[in-house]
Amino acid sequence: MQRPASTEYAAYYGKYIELVPETDIVATLAAQLDEMLPFLRAIPESQGNVRHAPYTWSIKEVVGHLTDCERVFGYRALRFARGDATALPGFDENTFAPAAESDRWPLAELVAEFEALRRSHVLMFRHLSDAAWSRSGEANNNRVSVRAAAYILVGHARHHTAILRNRLAK
């Protein structure tokens, strides 16, 4: 599979797609769990609600944010892969994060929720036809292809996992 062209996504998402040099995006989506889960599961519950300056979200909120974005971009990919041309709205992660109330839940449950959703997306993407990968639609007033959505999922998770690793290393 080819990497998405810059015309397949809004410029803002380029920073995430640049973090994904792989070309087998389905294998990469699956392998990313093998990288992320041991790290996330090793974070003590006592660290879950900590907000490390200058960051405003707790570790639990970051994991909740990863799950929310996984849902949103997975949904966009599904709609466009199925040929639905309905323009989709954007979403405000800064509204989603506090509304999710992730700090109320055990970190292990939040990680398990992300894992279940990602495993579901691996199967969804694995079952797409070649034609579906190049389909696109409008989300948040920008064009995005199914292929780009998959790359954004991986790059976005890499971005936030790196931030978490940095926060916890201090």
The pLDDT of 129-152, averaged and rounded, is 98
Which domains, ranges and CATH numbers included, belong to the chain?
6-169 (1.20.120.450)
Q: Is the pLDDT of residue 156 over 90?
A: yes
Q: What is the pLDDT of residues 45-95, one digit of tens each?
A: 999 999 988 889 999 999 999 999 999 999 999 999 999 989 999 999 999
Give the predicted TM-score (pTM) of the model. Answer: 0.96
- Where would I find the H helices in the chain? 14-17, 25-41, 59-81, 93-100, 107-126, 130-134, 146-169
Task: Report the pLDDT value the prediction gives residue 1, as an integer from 0 to 100.
Answer: 80
Q: What is the pLDDT of residues 106-129, one digit of tens each?
A: 999 999 999 999 999 999 999 999
Q: Which token pair is 13? A: 């998402």
